[in-house]
Structure 1
Amino acid sequence: MRKLAAGIASAIAIAGAAAAADLPKRDQEPAFAPPVPPPSPIWTGFHAGMKMGYGFNASRQHIDSLRFEDGMPTPLSEIWSYPGPAWAGFQGGGEVGYDYQWGRFVVGVETDIIGTNMSGDSWGVGPVIPGKNFAWDGRTGISVPWYGTVRGRLGYLVTPAILVYATGGLAYGGVKHHQYFADSDADIGMADRNSTNIGYTAGVGAEWMFMRNWSLKGEYRYTDLGSGWSSPSGSGRAFNIAEITPGIAAQPAVFKSWSVPNADFHSFLLGVSFHFN
């Protein structure tokens, strides 16, 4: 009887151990697989895009005017000045460039060409001195129909997708000046000066790679295309009403020069680019 009871107990113990071996362990955790992070933006490569914005003049110096008769300066009553024009307008164009990413730094070069409707004009009245010939009305206008730049840029990646940068380099562009005067001696002069000027540009910006190959950027730039002097167009001299009025003797030849407004301006631009990487 004792042997039977011992055998039953041994069988029960073996069966319990086998059943326990089949149960999962309490301290065993399921394996955790972290999500795969999205790939970091790749900034190295060529890019091309469009940009648009607004620009306005950075300086507004006085316009100086000097009148000559027969090649000789006239009295101080003919030397006068008035405020230069305030001018502004919209800008839009395209750019291409190449960037190289090194860790958190990005270096690159860009070139763009931009059309604008920036323009403006001003006018002034010369000194009134009794008994003297004086220039009683003068007008000056300026416009920058287009400009372009070739720039380097150096940036830092705040995040893999956000770049802040500084940029600067060569600027060039078309500058148009138009000036007019009429004085109390019936002299009338007009000057048109159309030139392609070379200067410089510098600024800062930020760019966001919002998709794998697409980015948005905002940029501020200061651009200076220079200044100079302008003279009457045509024969290089102003004309007198008497010269074209029958029966009235012609007056001495008149020549007048003006300083022209500085072609320097601020630009605020927004753009979108496609990156070939």
Structure 2
Amino acid sequence: MTKTLLLASAATALLAGAASAADLPRRAAPPPVFTPVPVFTWTGFYAGFNAGYAFDASSNNTNSFAVPGGPGGFTGGGPGTTAFFSQRNQEGFTGGGQIGYNVQFTPGSGVVVGIEADAQYLDFGRNRNNGFAAGLSPAYYVTDPRGLSSLDFFGTVRGRIGYAFDRVLVYGTGGFAYGSGSADRSFGGFAGNDSFRTGYAVGGGIEYALPTDSFLNFFRSSAVTLKVEGLYVNLDRNTRNQGALVINAASNVPAYYSPVGRRDDEFAVVRAGLNYKFGSY
């Protein structure tokens, strides 16, 4: 009997303890850790390369001028010697590199401003815009130095302003431009040519920040961007030694030049580029 009472008392105590434990408040689970998704920003330095196509954007006309020959004039031609020449359109490959810096005022989508500088190789062909002259001595030939064939390279320093739709940036650009070429492609080898010229460039483009899983994103980061851009470049040739030249074939030095019309170098560029932006976000 006593043993039975002890067992009953122990069972009652265990049941009471279990009920008391069930009434105790449970320990709250820790809140989940929130990891914010990084927001892409265009702010930062970048550098890259580009390649594209350039073509003459000027109006080219066939022109002629009279060379004053005979006594008191140019001795390589008789009275009434006339030279003819034509401005031929030129086009070719262009490629180079660029560096720049952007500032985005609102991460995600918003206004982006920046500055960019580039340097470009330019291949407009190596033939001068030659002409011919009726009545000109065989010891001379005519060339027109105003053609774009004298350009070997050009570069720009431009401002950029645009609007970003997350990873897509649409922008306009404009600023300073410069260019130069070799002497033998400008004035028949005349060392006194004005080959270096300055001017301006304007244009626009669209740029896209590649996803990390893109096969073109070889850095596997959000810092690789792809752009397509168009530029109009106008380089002032100045007024020095403008016009078609009559060149002494033996010395390769101009014997006469005619200011038949001052013309700036105008050409358009369409190119694609790849940039690496330092700092992923």
- Give TM-score scaled by structure 1 length: 0.64
Letter paired with 2:276: F
**Does the 8 A contact of 1:86 with 1:121 survive in 2?**
no
| Other-structure match for 2:124 | 118
Query: How much has 1:76 moved relative to structure 2?
Result: 8.5
Query: How much has 1:231 moved relative to structure 2?
Result: 7.5
Letter paired with 2:159: G
Q: How does 1:126-275 map to 2 (within 5 A)?
A: 126=133, 133=135, 138-140=142-144, 142-157=149-164, 159-176=165-182, 177-178=185-186, 191=190, 193=193, 195-211=195-211, 212-227=222-237, 228=239, 230=241, 239=248, 255-257=256-258, 262-275=264-277
Q: 1: distance between equivalents of 2:227 and 2:121? A: 19
What RMSD in Å do the two structures reach over aligned CA positions? 3.7
Identity rate of aligned residues, in percent?
29
**What SS does the aligned partner of 1:40 have?**
coil
Query: How much has 1:93 moved relative to structure 2?
Result: 0.9
Q: 2: distance between equivalents of 1:135 and 1:40? A: 73
Query: How much has 1:257 moved relative to structure 2?
Result: 3.5
Please point out which of 99, 104, 114 is paired with 1:101: 104
Query: How much has 1:213 moved relative to structure 2?
Result: 0.6
Give the strand-richer structure, 1 or 2: 1
Q: 2: distance between equivalents of 1:66 and 1:230? A: 17
Query: How much has 1:117 moved relative to structure 2?
Result: 1.4
Query: How much has 1:36 moved relative to structure 2?
Result: 7.9
Give the count of matched residue pairs: 216
| Other-structure match for 1:55 | 54
| Other-structure match for 2:91 | 88
Q: 2: distance between equivalents of 1:45 and 1:144? A: 33
**What SS does the aligned partner of 1:53 have?**
strand
Q: 1: distance between equivalents of 2:249 and 2:86? A: 26
**Does the 8 A contact of 2:68 with 2:79 survive in 1?**
no
**Does the 8 A contact of 2:78 with 2:136 survive in 1?**
no
Q: 2: distance between equivalents of 1:163 and 1:134? A: 58
Letter paired with 2:271: L
Query: How much has 1:237 moved relative to structure 2?
Result: 8.2
Letter paired with 1:146: F
Structure 1 residues 165 and 61: CA distance shift in structure 2, 3 A: same
Q: What do residues 189-209 of structure 1 show as CA deviations (whole Å, max 9, x unaligned)?
A: x75636111111000100001
Query: How much has 1:57 moved relative to structure 2?
Result: 1.0
Structure 1 residues 84 and 237: CA distance shift in structure 2, 3 A: closer
Structure 1 residues 221 and 64: CA distance shift in structure 2, 3 A: farther
Letter paired with 1:107: V
Which consecutive residues of structure 1, in runs of 5 or more, have no partner in the other structure?
Answer: 1-32, 181-189, 244-252
**Does the 8 A contact of 1:106 with 1:154 survive in 2?**
yes
